Amino acid sequence: MTSRRQFLKILPYSFLLTACKPLVFDTKKVVKYELAANKSTFNFNEKFKANLFLYNNANPGPLLKANVGDILKIDFKNNLDQPTSIHWHGIKNINKMDGVPYLTQDPVQPGETFSYEFPVNQSGTYWYHAHFESWEQVAKGLYGPLVVYDKTDDLIEDDIVILADDWRLNKNYQIDEKSFGSLMDWSHAGRIGNWLTINGKKSPQYSIKENSIARLRFINASNARVLKFGSSLKNNNIITIDGVAVKSMLVEDFTLAPGQRIDLLINTADLLKVDFFEISHTKQLKAFTLNVTKADNKTKNITNIKFKSNLILPKIDNAKTIDIRMQGGAMGNLSKANLDGVEKDFRTLATEDKKLWAFNKEIGSYEYLLATVKLNQVVILDVWNDTRWPHSMHLHGNHFFVKSKEFKENNDYILRDTYLMQAGEKAKLIFVADNPGKWLFHCHMLEHAASGMVSYIDVV
């Protein structure tokens, strides 16, 4: 793997594809897309046009599809009047394609282009989003779904992305711009919205076929809201988490923190209609509806769908442990912290620098190096959420094992790229550092990241 990745770094794929016939990867298909970040308008309500930032003027941005083993090539153009970049959330990427401004690439300036090109070697549900001042750019709609399919997906009749976003709109169905940068939001739970959309719509309807299998791919693109979904089915069958196949789990409802994905499989035999609800709001909201339609002929054999789950925890005897104490925020215990090498008290940091969160007393940024680890080293991020707030912790470029307390009787290690840590929780995030480069580790509540809860790990 490593050698191929390094090899791909040196030569452009197109050259490889045309000039080097006998290589293993000469069958790799290059799947091409064009994305443009535009200032666009969008109707949340028939009467009012909201000013958003959108990829290809669509909300969400276009669904990018590839098969496992393909190479994705995305030619990107920035038509905004501010810099931006795109991050491919959950993809085990080549570092220089990871889309983190200043760390892995220069920001893409207004009017400039950037070509992202990387192999996708793991199937699953992913997403892409702006990574420059994402607390504003993502809040205005710069994101879209990315799905990598494998053979098993051929057996599935209906495959539907359910990309959820929690917008904060004003009375005129415009983005509430005044509250961008609110110290109250930044020091508390982040920018919590008041308007839930599924694929850009309020309570949309989808049709799925009877006597078959449907796959739903949930993605939470919210700035900060931890969504919770339930349905009119007693059991919801979770088959993948953050793109990774798990032993099937039947749950009544499930949480989806910012950045996380969960896929469900639904057997549509004997179903007429399924309603999904979002239940984190004080009032339960109808999220979307699936209407089951008659199929003329018997569809696929639904008994032979098996998702391989082969999670093998790496040996941790010689692991390198990195202690991370998360601090700050409202009602927290952070009295002083270092910002660019200068120790300041919390009040000064909050009011003058708008910095509110820290790892190990350091106010983070895209340039804050948390630790350097050797290539192929087993790493344990020993994280303590010593704050009064939950945080959705995301590691770029790698999945990590975590003993999740979320799935009660299935309380076992799962492999994910974003983990919701409750206030006071301690967790070990374990991964093999087999992907060289500088990988961000940050809170995906975007206001928390902007105000200090961000760092990177250098794998050398």
In angstroms, rounded to a whole number, what is the distance separating the alpha carbons of residues 249 and 236? Answer: 8
394 contacts Cu ion (rule: CB under 5 A): no
CB of 387 to Cu ion, least distance (A): 8
Instruction: Based on the shown chain and the rule CB under 6 A, indicate whether residue 107 belongs to the binding site for ligand C2O.
Output: no
Residue closer to ligand C2O (CB basis): 92 or 444: 444
- Asked whether the beta carbons of 132 and 84 are under 8 A apart, the reply is yes
Q: Which is nearer to ligand C2O, 87 or 225 (CB)?
A: 87
Measured distance CA(410)–CA(412) in Å, rounded? 6
Residue count, binding to ligand C2O (CB under 6 A): 10
Contact 139, 175 (CB under 8 A): yes
Mark residues 384-423: x for contact with ligand C2O by CB under 6 A, - for none.
----------x-x---------------------------
- Strand partners for 387: none
Are the beta carbons of 402 and 428 closer than 8 angstroms? yes
CB 88 within 8 A of CB 116: yes
Instruction: Please report how close the Cβ of residue 378 comes to ligand C2O at its closest, in angstroms.
Output: 23
Contact criterion met (CB below 8 Å) for 264 and 162: no
Residue 438 binds to ligand C2O (criterion: CB under 6 A): no
Q: Which is nearer to ligand C2O, 38 or 137 (by Cβ)?
A: 137
Residue 438 binds: one of ligand C2O, Cu ion, none (C-beta under 5 to 8 A by kind): none
What is the C-alpha separation between 72 and 94, in angstroms, rounded? 12
Whole-angstrom distance, CA of residue 133 vs CA of residue 100: 11
x/- track of binding to ligand C2O for residues 129-148 (CB under 6 A) = x-x-----------------
Q: Does 448 bind Cu ion (CB under 5 A)?
A: yes
* Element of type H or E holding 2: helix 2-10
The smaller minimum CB distance to Cu ion, of residues 175 and 224, is found at 224
Q: Scanning the structure block, which residue is given the tokens 């970040």? A: 37
Measured from the CB atom, the residue of 290 and 370 that comes closer to ligand C2O is 370
DSSP string, 382-396: EEEE-SSS-EEEEET
Decide if residue 443 touches Cu ion (CB under 5 A). yes
Instruction: Return all residues near 218 (Cβ < 8 A) that are at least 6 apart.
Output: 125, 162, 163, 164, 229, 256, 261, 262, 263, 264
* Binds 225: which of Cu ion, ligand C2O, none (CB < 5-8 Å by kind): none
Choose the contact partner of 394 out of ligand C2O, Cu ion, none; CB within 5 to 8 A by kind.
Answer: ligand C2O
Q: Phi and psi dihedrals of 118, rounded to 5?
A: -160, 150
Scanning residues 218 to 277, which ones bind ligand C2O (CB under 6 A)? 259
Which of the listed partners (ligand C2O, Cu ion, none) does 221 bind, with a CB threshold of 5 to 8 Å by partner kind? Answer: none
> In this chain, which of 89, 168, 215, 225 binds ligand C2O, going by CB under 6 A?
89
In angstroms, give the least distance from the CB of 440 to ligand C2O: 5
Q: Which residues of 109-140 are buried (b: 16+ CB within 10 A; e: fewer)?
A: eeeeebebbbbbebbbbbbbbbbbbbbbbbbb
Nearer to ligand C2O, 427 or 440 (CB): 440
Between 100 and 208, name the residue whose CB sits nearer to ligand C2O: 100
The residue ranges that bind Cu ion (CB under 5 A) are: 391, 443, 445, 448
The residue ranges that bind ligand C2O (CB under 6 A) are: 87, 89, 129, 131, 259, 394, 396, 440, 442, 444
